[in-house]
Chain A
Amino acid sequence: MSIAATVTDPGVAGPSTRNWKAPIGFGVGALIALFVFAIGGPAATAVFRVSDDSDRFRLADIALPANVVGWVVAVALIAIAVYAFLQVRGGRGINRWAGIAYAVLFVVGFLTWVVGIADRPSISLAGLVAGSVTLAIPLIFGSLSGVLCERVGVVNIAIEGQLLSGAFAAAVAASVSGNAYVGLIAAAFAGVLVSLVLAIFSIKYLVNQIIVGVVLNVLVSGLTGFLASTLLSRDSATFNSPPGLPEVRIPLLADIPIIGPILFQQSIVGYFMYAAVIVIWIGLYRTKWGLRVRAVGEHPQAADTMGIKVNATRFWNVLLGGAVAGFGGAFFTLVSVSSFTRDMTAGQGYIALAALIFGRWNPIGAFFAALLFGFATNLRFVLSIIGTDVPSQFLAMLPYIVTILAVAGLVGRSRPPAAGGIPYVKE
């Protein structure tokens, strides 16, 4: 799957020359489409249900003849790949929209094919999308934490640890107090605590940020695992049975097909997620605070000469990032399931890191990247329900394949903050 908005950046003249990554990637994808979606396309009709029976407004289902769609998609993808090849050979850039169109077509082709070969070739589009958002929520919080830290020049590998500590703290605090909102606050604090260690070691003691991050992840995993197997399992009624956060449904708006359930039928954590993406985006790009933050991450010395306290800015931002990720971690124990289990974040922090890179260090970019990963994960669940022939192991790999392709740079050049990972020391 190449989900590529591939752009060769014409503004940046590097020492490297023509970049063949995009045409090659496009070509491989187009060949897959040709052999699998078109030639191997089933003579079935894939049905995408837009509305469910219980919905107030009902729209007609979309029914697509799988082999016809397969051929159309394959031909279009080949055309785009040829276009990309010609552009690169001529030393020109590839239009951003070509990459986006390619990605959309490929996804349409893949979905039609995979649904078409299933035993019951019919899935609910609304359910697929809504499930993707739900699965993406902790990822989005995680990558927002990454944005806050990396924009200021501190590499945050500890997202995984922050999520996990948030999940743990939320479970325990909510169970003990009997109040889920106390759990939310405790989760944010736990994230800050992890961040505090990261900040002190990387900013004050100049320890390699990646090493601190990895060590923190292992530490949090070990610590919460230990407490889970002792304290929590000994008296799980007191410590590990948090009250869940209810779904808050906004009447009428939630009835809008497809986007209704996504935007207006969420837990409080979900609403906070949307707010956080918008607030952080505005903060970074429209406020004095954001200008300073980005300056510190790009060129700390320049910021310093303009009277900005570089290390203090970094410190507070890293703590804020911890609070955001910790808060997101609460999703696991207060929304998703209702108890803490050992290592329940299962590497989502690393996927969040990938979403951050895929989203080019931009809150909105990270949001969509995380959604994509959520979609890949959810697809696996949905497909196993409708009984597809694709082996489940392959489907389990989907989110990770998407991650690797995304991070490997199929998405074109993305430019991280220039001072990322480099501690600032005044001479």
Chain B
Amino acid sequence: MKLELQGITKRFGSLVANDNIDLVVNPGEVHCLLGENGAGKSTLMNVLYGLYEPTDGQILVDGKPVTFRGPGDAMAVGIGMVHQHFMLIPVFTVAENVALGDEHTKAGGILDLDKTRARIREISDRYGFDVDPDALVEDLPVGVQQRVEIIKALVRKAEVLILDEPTAVLTPQETDELIQIIEELKAGGTAIVFISHKLREVKAVSDVITVIRRGAVVGTVEPSASTSDLASMMVGRQVSLSLNKAPATPGDTTFVVRNLTVPGSGGQNLLDNVSFEIAKGEILAVAGVQGNGQTELTEAILGLHPHASGSVQLKGKELLGMKVKDIIREGVGFVPEDRKIDGLVGSFSIAENMILNWYNEPPFAKGFAMKPSVVLKNAQEKVAEFDVRTQSAEAPVSTLSGGNQQKVVLARELSRPLNLFIASQPTRGVDVGSIEFLHKRIVAERDAGTPVMIVSTELDEISELADRIAVLHGGELMGVVPGDTSRDVLGLMMAGMTAEEALRQDASAVEERNRAAGGHRAAGAHRVTGEEDR
């Protein structure tokens, strides 16, 4: 099935999310849509999947124009979509999720899940998915949930499969498995639309790359294009992808975590006996797949977990058991993982958000009274210093883009003397241009002699910033390794191997690959976890 988009325009009020976009997807082809967060990729795909109606333009299937009034219409012509946030019902089984909307029934509308189970097994065997139709979706790891989504599309005989940011939630190994699945689907004649902002993956999987910026197509390129060319097309200017930070000069070890444990409600520990330390002037990056104890680790350090046990010492002082406010007063800067929920008050002004954890201290307050002029002046200085793009420091922070909101959080946390700086997902949902800036500020804080802890699920970011890397899996620390450890080893650790096991396994895998390929990289041509692309 050949799919064409002609002149698709989608407006939301005055905002043009898609501007006159043309796109052709051929059978058996992996077509990548590359663009930054907010460039309009997902909007375009939602138009294609019938979730949005285009303001203008048309969709052609095998040369014939079609209109979709809902996802049902899109599915009927053979378009399937795997959303970035999975459209699975957690309390349903795999079979129930797959059946939903396309149920087999016996007399009287009674569900016949056996037919669905058989179809799932058939597809699962054919592509090696290893999915149990009777498993409850909420019990499955995200990688498997994603396969359930793919099965949902395949059961409905999808010939075009849209994958919206499919690797955002996966470990590097799961990403490799996904890429293999894509290869097999492609070989079977399915067309894939692969949406991503990660250059490395896009280069690894695609046959054609279409780059989108601010809702418009800026060009279509071959996957052989260089990473820096792709990046500059995507951002619209030259960006330096590497940070070129100076080697760390660690000082005294002032931050020590010992046997930190956070119990969960079901008897299982969310954080299990974690011990590490960070020296002044050093960045420790905590890697791991989302939901493996990172949130609990940062929250426990900040005093947000009343049942945490163990010891957290900063400059010899025990933080565990102290109130959050007192911990902040000890000079702990904290960038929470979700700025919209924990980092900012959306309807407050930038100026107010700049002093959220400092509002009752001089110079911003005197007694019961606040000093609005000082607050505003402080904000104006920080806005200039951190290059926050806004009309006014009094504008509500919710009017800013993600990158600028994150700059506000960082500006607040970095503008007081710190003894420890913790940043969780410091660049999530931030445009490439701002990432560079935020990373530089974090490194500058390190160079000023602060122990820094970064938590990130993006391995690129981990490798970029880390002087040492700690890997969490299932709440346990798999080990602390040097900052230049290979992605393969990190990936194995993120999947639950200790540092030693991962290094051993990786060494033997490399050996085997070298032997099999006669020293060439043919076998690894589509591996994204390898070092080749860097």
With A298-B91, A299-B89, A302-B88 known to touch, is A291 a contact of B263 (CB < 8 Å)?
Answer: no
Q: A91, B263: Cβ atoms under 8 Å?
A: yes
A303 close to chain B: CB less than 8 A: yes
B268 close to chain A: CB less than 8 A: yes
Interface residues in A280-333 (C-beta closer than 8 Å to B): 282, 286-292, 294-295, 298-299, 301-308
Q: Which of A16-24, A69-77, A175-183, A339-347 is the interface stretch?
A: A16-24
The listed residue (B83, B108, B263, B266) touching A10 by CB distance below 8 A is B266
Q: Nearest-CB distance from B98 to chain A (Å)?
A: 10
Chain B residues lying within 8 Å of A302, measured Cβ to Cβ, are: 87-89, 100
Chain A residues lying within 8 Å of B103, measured Cβ to Cβ, are: 288, 291
Chain A residues lying within 8 Å of B100, measured Cβ to Cβ, are: 291-292, 295, 302-303, 306, 308
20 intermolecular pairs with C-beta atoms under 8 Å apart: A10-B267, A14-B264, A15-B265, A15-B305, A18-B263, A18-B265, A91-B263, A282-B110, A286-B110, A287-B105, A292-B100, A295-B89, A298-B89, A303-B101, A305-B49, A305-B87, A306-B87, A307-B71, A307-B72, A308-B101
Q: B265, A12: Cβ atoms under 8 Å?
A: yes
Interface residues in B372-411 (C-beta closer than 8 Å to A): none
Q: A291, B266: Cβ atoms under 8 Å?
A: no
Q: B75, A291: Cβ atoms under 8 Å?
A: no
A60 close to chain B: CB less than 8 A: no
Q: B101, A93: Cβ atoms under 8 Å?
A: no
Q: Nearest-CB distance from B468 to chain A (Å)?
A: 28
A251 close to chain B: CB less than 8 A: no
The listed residue (A9, A10, A18, A305) touching B51 by CB distance below 8 A is A305
Q: A11, B139: Cβ atoms under 8 Å?
A: yes
Chain B residues lying within 8 Å of A305, measured Cβ to Cβ, are: 49, 51, 71, 81, 83, 87
Q: A295, B92: Cβ atoms under 8 Å?
A: yes
State the CA gap A369–B88 with chains docked (Å): 31
State the CA gap A308–B263 with chains docked (Å): 40
Q: Nearest-CB distance from A417 to chain B (Å)?
A: 9
State the CA gap A392–B270 with chains docked (Å): 50
Q: Nearest-CB distance from A270 to chain B (Å)?
A: 25
Q: A92, B264: Cβ atoms under 8 Å?
A: no
B250 close to chain A: CB less than 8 A: no
Interface residues in B260-294 (C-beta closer than 8 Å to A): 263-268, 270
Chain B residues lying within 8 Å of A304, measured Cβ to Cβ, are: 51, 70-71
Q: B267, A91: Cβ atoms under 8 Å?
A: yes
A8 close to chain B: CB less than 8 A: yes
B247 close to chain A: CB less than 8 A: no
Interface residues in A259-294 (C-beta closer than 8 Å to B): 282, 286-292, 294
Q: Nearest-CB distance from A360 to chain B (Å)?
A: 12
Chain A residues lying within 8 Å of B305, measured Cβ to Cβ, are: 15
B90 close to chain A: CB less than 8 A: yes
B111 close to chain A: CB less than 8 A: yes
Q: B111, A286: Cβ atoms under 8 Å?
A: yes
Total residues of chain B contacting the partner, CB 8 A? 38
Q: A16, B265: Cβ atoms under 8 Å?
A: yes
State the CA gap A295–B265 with chains docked (Å): 27
B53-77 CB mask vs A (1 if < 8 Å, else 0) is 0000000000000000011100100
Query: Assuming A9-B266, A302-B100, A305-B49, what are 17 further A-B pairs, CB within 8 angstroms?
Result: A12-B266, A13-B265, A13-B266, A18-B263, A18-B307, A93-B267, A286-B111, A287-B111, A288-B103, A288-B105, A291-B96, A298-B90, A303-B100, A304-B71, A306-B102, A307-B70, A307-B75
B212 close to chain A: CB less than 8 A: no
Minimal Cβ-Cβ distance residue in B for A426 = B51
Interface residues in A54-93 (C-beta closer than 8 Å to B): 90-93
B109 close to chain A: CB less than 8 A: yes
Chain B residues lying within 8 Å of A299, measured Cβ to Cβ, are: 87-90
Chain B residues lying within 8 Å of A294, measured Cβ to Cβ, are: 89, 92
Chain B residues lying within 8 Å of A290, measured Cβ to Cβ, are: 111
Minimal Cβ-Cβ distance residue in A for B266 = A10
B8 close to chain A: CB less than 8 A: no
What is the number of contacts between chain A and chain B, taking CB atoms within 8 Å? 109
Q: Nearest-CB distance from B264 to chain A (Å)?
A: 4
Q: Nearest-CB distance from A409 to chain B (Å)?
A: 13
Minimal Cβ-Cβ distance residue in A for B98 = A306
Chain A residues lying within 8 Å of B320, measured Cβ to Cβ, are: none
Q: Nearest-CB distance from A419 to chain B (Å)?
A: 10
Q: Nearest-CB distance from A200 to chain B (Å)?
A: 22
With A288-B103, A305-B49 known to touch, is A11 a contact of B89 (CB < 8 Å)?
Answer: no
B99 close to chain A: CB less than 8 A: yes
Chain B residues lying within 8 Å of A301, measured Cβ to Cβ, are: 87
State the CA gap A16–B152 with chains docked (Å): 34
Q: B265, A8: Cβ atoms under 8 Å?
A: yes
Minimal Cβ-Cβ distance residue in A for B72 = A307
State the CA gap A92–B109 with chains docked (Å): 41
Chain A residues lying within 8 Å of B108, measured Cβ to Cβ, are: 287
Chain A residues lying within 8 Å of B52, measured Cβ to Cβ, are: 427
State the CA gap A93–B265 with chains docked (Å): 9
Q: Nearest-CB distance from A291 to chain B (Å)?
A: 6
With A92-B267, A305-B49, A308-B101 known to touch, is A287 a contact of B96 (CB < 8 Å)?
Answer: no
Q: Nearest-CB distance from B194 to chain A (Å)?
A: 19
State the CA gap A415–B103 with chains docked (Å): 26
State the CA gap A150–B108 with chains docked (Å): 24
B207-231 CB mask vs A (1 if < 8 Å, else 0) is 0000000000000000000000000
Q: Nearest-CB distance from A180 to chain B (Å)?
A: 30
State the CA gap A8–B105 with chains docked (Å): 36
**3 residue pairs, one from A and one from B, having the closest CB atoms:** A307-B72, A306-B101, A302-B87
A76-115 CB mask vs B (1 if < 8 Å, else 0) is 0000000000000011110000000000000000000000
Interface residues in B103-122 (C-beta closer than 8 Å to A): 103, 105, 108-111
Residue with the highest number of chain A CB atoms closer than 10 Å, among B75, B88, B92, B102: B92
State the CA gap A161–B475 with chains docked (Å): 50
Q: Nearest-CB distance from A416 to chain B (Å)?
A: 11
A330-357 CB mask vs B (1 if < 8 Å, else 0) is 0000000000000000000000000000
Q: Nearest-CB distance from B299 to chain A (Å)?
A: 8
B123-137 CB mask vs A (1 if < 8 Å, else 0) is 000000000000000
Q: A17, B307: Cβ atoms under 8 Å?
A: yes
State the CA gap A235–B230 with chains docked (Å): 85
Chain B residues lying within 8 Å of A308, measured Cβ to Cβ, are: 100-101
Q: Nearest-CB distance from B117 to chain A (Å)?
A: 14
Q: Nearest-CB distance from A23 to chain B (Å)?
A: 15
Chain B residues lying within 8 Å of A287, measured Cβ to Cβ, are: 105, 108-111
